[in-house]
Amino acid sequence: MRRLALGLTLFVFGTGVALAVTNTAKLVGPKYTLKEVMGKAHKEGLLKKVTAGDASAEEKSQLLDLYVAMYDHEVPKGEAGSWTEKTSAAVVGAAKVVLGQDGAEDALKKAVNCGACHKAHK
């Protein structure tokens, strides 16, 4: 009986913590603005460094973090489905690079199509 009570207490506490984190993330918003994502990932050359295979593990993780923030933004213009498709492709591509999958750099390069995204959403 004590184990059941302890298990139930931990479950309720864990669920409460998870909900609090989710609600806080919704209130706070994405970690970076879209301008910051574009500046750090593209204008400063982080994407180029990652796709060339010259980035450190920290830089690869930073690119993934930037693309997750981009995905977390509301669509600035255009259709939400298109935004989700394009930004999730960038996130998945960056995640594959972080995981060290074969051919991930080339796949990321194909997934991040700046012109297509800007035409539809900028």
pLDDT (tens digit, 9 = 90+) per residue, 77-96? 999 999 999 999 999 999 99
Q: How sure is the predictor about 61, in pLDDT bands with cuts at 50, 70 and 90?
A: very high
The pLDDT value given to residue 15? 44
Residue 101 to residue 78: CA distance in whole angstroms = 32
Q: pTM of the predicted model, to two decimals? A: 0.77
Q: Do 35 and 12 fall into the same domain?
A: no
Q: Do 71 and 13 fall into the same domain?
A: no
Q: Do 57 and 94 fall into the same domain?
A: yes
Q: Do 60 and 42 fall into the same domain?
A: yes
Q: Do 19 and 78 fall into the same domain?
A: no
Q: Do 90 and 42 fall into the same domain?
A: yes
The pLDDT value given to residue 20? 46
Dmax over Cα atoms in the chain, in whole Å?
61
Q: Do 67 and 89 fall into the same domain?
A: yes
Q: Do 4 and 48 fall into the same domain?
A: no
Q: Do 24 and 36 fall into the same domain?
A: no
Give the total number of structural domains in the chain. 2
Domain that holds residue 14: 1-29
Q: Do 57 and 2 fall into the same domain?
A: no
The pLDDT value given to residue 51? 97
Q: Tens digits of per-residue pLDDT, 94-110?
A: 999 999 999 999 999 99
Q: Do 3 and 49 fall into the same domain?
A: no
The pLDDT value given to residue 9? 52
Q: What is the 3-state secondary structure (H, E, C) of the chain?
A: CHHHHHHHHHHHHHHHHHHHHHHHHHHHCCCCCHHHHHHHHHHCCHHHHHHCCCCCHHHHHHHHHHHHHHHHCCCCCCCHHHHHHHHHHHHHHHHHHHHCCCCHHHHHHHHCCHHHHHHHHC
The pLDDT value given to residue 28? 77
Q: Do 60 and 12 fall into the same domain?
A: no
